[in-house]
Amino acid sequence: MAGRKFVFPGKCFTSYTVPNYSLIVNPLYQVTRKKNEFEWGPEQRQAFEQIKQEIVHAVALGPVRTGPDVKNVLYTAAGENGPTWSLWQKEPGETRGRPLGFWSRGYRGSEARYTPTEKEILAAYEGVRSASEVGRAEEAPLYNQLPENEKKYALFTDGSCRIVGKHRRWKAAVWSPTRRVAEAAEGEGESSQFAEVKAIQLALDIAEREKWPVLYLYTDSWMVANALWGWLQQWKQNNWQRRGKPIWAAALWQDIAARVENLAVKVRHVDAHVPKNRATEEHQNNQQVDQAAKIEVAQVDLDWQHKGELFIARWAHDTSGHQGRDATYRWARDRGVDLTMDAIAQVIHDCETCAAIKQAKRSKPLWYGGRWLKYKYGEAWQIDYITLPQTRNGKRHVLTMVEATTGWLETYPVPHATARNTILGLEKQVLWRHGTPERIESDNGTHFRNNLIDTWAKEHGIEWVYHIPYHAPASGKVERYNGLLKTTLKAMGAGTFKNWDTHLAKATWLVNTRGSTNRAGPAQSNLLRTVDGDKVPVVHVKNMLGKTVWATPASGKGKPIRGIVFAQGPGYTWWVMQKNGEVRCVPQGDLILGENSP
């Protein structure tokens, strides 16, 4: 089947909506996996028709309901191909109830050999685990998407902490957008995370005091959001322990867990770092609660505190090895030191060592503009690996080698990107064809940066240069040719990388001879510069290497075949890569220089 598509407008159907979803669509999944060939057969047609029918009759999932009269019913079954389970809720007077979700999966490994009883136990286990996840707090919608009559049940929470004198002070705050008022609580001796949790307790106090039917919580703390979304259930099942140790602030979390069981709580995480020009009403309310949670202290205390923070931040930055802001913050936090991002940023800004490092990175080393002018053809190369779908003979990587002065491309397919395969590819494609280079550039991958490569490079007198990490311009030439090679292989595979290994030789030839209306390809390089007063071509090995030629067929009959001379053979012979991908060793008398050859 080619070009067919089945679209269901307005809804997205998943395994939570359709019973046995994963088992039904398994034949479709098998043909769409990247490593498999796309073959549309009777099994796929049957699965496609079945899933269409299931979606048409899909049952709308109901919201999670709470209360003493609500009963959760879990149905499980062990099928021939895998376990299935569904979770329903019933209230008095309902015969069928409302589904909360449908799940299914195939048997994994030895599960297919389980006895019927063991399979039933497996289905029950999966069902109970999924049911516990559904029972968590729901995610609240965007604040501006709440109905007007529901916005009065929305509260924004935040917490903060700072050291004042010799004491650590914390403050928790709750902000009501509709009433435009804040409620806060303060204390000493705890962290900002503790204040975030206390803010949740404040919000629950308000909701319970005013008997709200639902509470929409908005927080910029991922810790709080994740706890209410699912961690509370896990902690409760593990008796409020993690890896055998009591969880942090267990008493607070136990109190919150007991209270959310009797109140519908929906939680949403708010991004606290949004530019003012993109801030929505939700972000503005989050800034309001952030202001309400700030701790007010005297100016004298602020000056002493700021100096103390800078001293500790400078120590952390120097000791951690002059890392960036976030890395320094994590390093200090792991050692029990609570620093602010502003203090770390100021220390890094004033750090002379960091300034020297930045200046060194800004100064252009040898491999930037004009870096190749000192080299002749074959003396400098950039290399890299690209990854492609695995072939039948196990090859899934290609070592790409680009000659720096002309852009001539060499390729070498391998099953694994290793140092040994790197050396093998360089010897076969570069050293034996173009001579030993003076310089090779690569990234910092383990297949390039190791003792085996270092030893081999020293033995051959090669200068091996590693690019600056995460700095694309350093490896721009080889990255560009990687893209050209992938595009060519995909075009030859009718839009896929199918049979790329058989197309690789011809694709390499096409990249080397591509050219354009205003720019020649690597194989047609013209005279570019003057050396010792004489014009020297970039392709500077003998008189035919790198030139376009027409080779007489091996049979001696037929039209000459276009190709590129890439190496000198024994005697008066030349190695030619023909346009059809074939590589031949041709006597010089059977070669005719092409029109683009000087």
Residues linked to residue 564 through DSSP beta bridges, in sequence order: 548, 577
Q: How many CB atoms lie within 10 A of CB 195?
A: 26
Residue 328 tokens read as 């320094």
SS3 385: strand
87 has pLDDT over 50: yes
Q: How far apart are CA 333 and CA 54, in angstroms?
A: 51
Average pLDDT, the chain: 77
SS3 259: helix
Map out the domains of the chain with their CATH numbers: 21-138 (3.10.20.370), 139-292 (3.30.420.10), 299-362 (no CATH), 380-522 (3.30.420.10)
Q: Confidence band (pLDDT; 50, 70, 90) for 414? A: very high
- Dihedral pair phi/psi, residue 409, rounded to 5°: -105, 135
User: What value does the mean pLDDT take over residues 135-155?
Assistant: 81
Q: How far apart are CA 461 and CA 446, in angstroms?
A: 21
What pLDDT, on a 0 to 100 scale, did the predictor assign at position 204? 94
Query: Which long-range contacts (C-beta less than 8 Å, at least 24 apart) are formed by 243-251?
Result: 248/193, 249/193, 249/194, 249/197
Contact (Cβ atoms closer than 8 angstroms) between residue 441 and residue 475:
yes
What pLDDT, on a 0 to 100 scale, did the predictor assign at position 477? 78
Helices 192-209 and 250-260 cross at an angle (nearest 10°) of: 30
Residue 401 tokens read as 């080698």
User: What value does the mean pLDDT take over residues 276-298?
Assistant: 84
Lowest mean pLDDT across 158-167, 174-183, 525-534: 525-534
Q: How far apart are CA 102 and CA 62, in angstroms?
A: 12
- If one compares 62 and 459, the residue with the highest pLDDT of the two is 459
The number of angstroms, rounded, from the C-alpha of 471 to the middle of its chain's C-alpha atoms is: 18
Residue 404 tokens read as 């720096």
Contact (Cβ atoms closer than 8 angstroms) between residue 514 and residue 485:
no
Provide the residue type at 185 as one letter: A
User: What value does the mean pLDDT take over residues 352-356?
Assistant: 76
598 has pLDDT over 90: no
Beta strands in 234-285 (DSSP E): 241-242, 245-246, 264-269
User: What value does the mean pLDDT take over residues 152-180?
Assistant: 87
- If one compares 55 and 513, the residue with the highest pLDDT of the two is 513
Residue 113 tokens read as 């050999």
Calculated CA dihedral for residues 328, 332, 333, 335, nearest 10 degrees: 150
357 has pLDDT over 70: no
Residue 578 tokens read as 């023909």
Q: How many CB atoms lie within 10 A of CB 258?
A: 10
Q: How far apart are CA 550 and CA 559, in angstroms?
A: 9
Percent of the chain with pLDDT over 90: 13
Lowest mean pLDDT across 92-96, 267-271, 383-387, 568-572: 568-572
pLDDT digits (tens, 9 = 90+) for 304-349: 556 667 888 888 888 887 888 888 888 888 877 788 888 888 888 8
147 has pLDDT over 60: yes
Contact (Cβ atoms closer than 8 angstroms) between residue 323 and residue 348:
no
What pLDDT, on a 0 to 100 scale, did the predictor assign at position 597? 44
Residues linked to residue 245 through DSSP beta bridges, in sequence order: 242
Q: Confidence band (pLDDT; 50, 70, 90) for 527? A: very low
What pLDDT, on a 0 to 100 scale, did the predictor assign at position 325? 85
Burial status of residue 510 (CB atoms within 10 A of its CB: 0-12, 13-18, 19 or more): buried
- If one compares 473 and 455, the residue with the highest pLDDT of the two is 455
